[in-house]
Amino acid sequence: MPPMTAPIWLWGLLALAVPLALHLYGRRPGRTVKLGTLRDIPATRVARTFALRVEDHWRLLLRCSILALVGVALAGPLIPTRRGTGSIVLVSEAVGSAPLVDSLRGAGATAFRLFEHEDAWSGALRAAEQTSGPVHIIGGATVGELGAARPSLPNPVQWHRVTPGLAAADSVPVQSALVLTEPLTVTARRRLDAAIAAIAAEAGLRPSDLVVTTDTSARAAPGYRFTLTAENVASADLPFRLAESWLAPQREQAIRQLLVPLAMAAPVHAAGVAVPGSSSSASRWLLALAAILLLAERAWALRASRVAA
Partner 1 sequence: MELLTPRLLASTRDLALIARRIADGVGFGAHRSRAPGTGLEFTQYRPYQPGDDLRRLDWKLAARSDRFFLRESERESSVPLRLIVDATASMAYTEDGVSLLAAARVLAAGLALVADRQGDAVGLVTATSEVTTLVPARRDPRQLPRVLHALARVEPRGRWPKWAELETAAAAGGRGISVLLTDAAEDKDEIVAAIRRLTALRHEVIVLHLAGRASIEFPWQGATRFEEYETGRAVDVDASVAREGARAAAARRLAELERTIRALGAEYQRVLLDESVEAALRTWLRLRMRRA
Least distance CB 44 / partner 1 (angstroms): 8
Return phi, psi of residue 58, to 5°.
-65, -40
Q: Residue 27 pairs with which residues in a beta bridge? A: none
Task: Indicate the residue among 59 and 189 with the shorter CB distance to partner 1.
Answer: 59
Please report, as residue ranges, which positions from 78 to 107 form the binding site for partner 1 (by CB under 8 A). none
Cα 289 to Cα 241: distance, rounded to the nearest angstrom: 41
Q: According to CB under 8 A, which one of 11, 50, 58, 285 is a site residue for partner 1?
A: 50
Q: Is 181 exposed, middle or buried (CB count within 10 Å of its CB: 0-12, 13-18, 19+)?
A: buried
Least distance CB 26 / partner 1 (angstroms): 10
Task: Indicate the residue among 34 and 306 with the shorter CB distance to partner 1.
Answer: 34
Task: Indicate the residue among 45 and 171 with the shorter CB distance to partner 1.
Answer: 45
Q: According to CB under 8 A, which one of 17, 18, 23, 49 is a site residue for partner 1?
A: 49
Cα 75 to Cα 69: distance, rounded to the nearest angstrom: 10
Q: According to CB under 8 A, which one of 47, 148, 167, 236 is a site residue for partner 1?
A: 47
Task: Indicate the residue among 11 and 50 with the shorter CB distance to partner 1.
Answer: 50
Task: Indicate the residue among 26 and 277 with the shorter CB distance to partner 1.
Answer: 26
Cα 250 to Cα 5: distance, rounded to the nearest angstrom: 41
Helix axes 251-258 and 186-203, enclosed angle (nearest 10): 160
Task: Indicate the residue among 43 and 236 with the shorter CB distance to partner 1.
Answer: 43
Please report, as residue ranges, which positions from 263 to 282 form the binding site for partner 1 (by CB under 8 A). none
Cα 17 to Cα 11: distance, rounded to the nearest angstrom: 12
Q: Is 67 exposed, middle or buried (CB count within 10 Å of its CB: 0-12, 13-18, 19+)?
A: buried
Structural contact between residues 3 and 68, judged by C-beta atoms closer than 8 angstroms: no
Q: According to CB under 8 A, which one of 1, 25, 48, 54 is a site residue for partner 1?
A: 48
Helix (H/G/I), strand (E/B), else coil: 122: helix
- Considering the rule CB under 8 A, would residue 249 count as an interface residue with partner 1? no
Residue type for position 158: Q
Q: How many residues contact partner 1, by CB under 8 A?
A: 21
Least distance CB 46 / partner 1 (angstroms): 5
Please report, as residue ranges, which positions from 6 to 45 form the binding site for partner 1 (by CB under 8 A). 29-43
Least distance CB 28 / partner 1 (angstroms): 8
**CA 178 → CA 48, 217, 219, 236, 279, distances in Å?**
81, 12, 9, 22, 34
Least distance CB 58 / partner 1 (angstroms): 21
Task: Indicate the residue among 50 and 240 with the shorter CB distance to partner 1.
Answer: 50
Of 46-54, 125-133, 157-165, 166-174, the segment contacting partner 1 by CB under 8 A is: 46-54
Please report, as residue ranges, which positions from 115 to 144 form the binding site for partner 1 (by CB under 8 A). none
List of residues 6+ apart from 155 with CB closer than 8 A: 124, 127, 128, 131, 132, 133, 134, 135
End-to-end CA separation in angstroms for the chain: 44
Binding site for partner 1 (CB under 8 A): 29-43, 46-50, 309
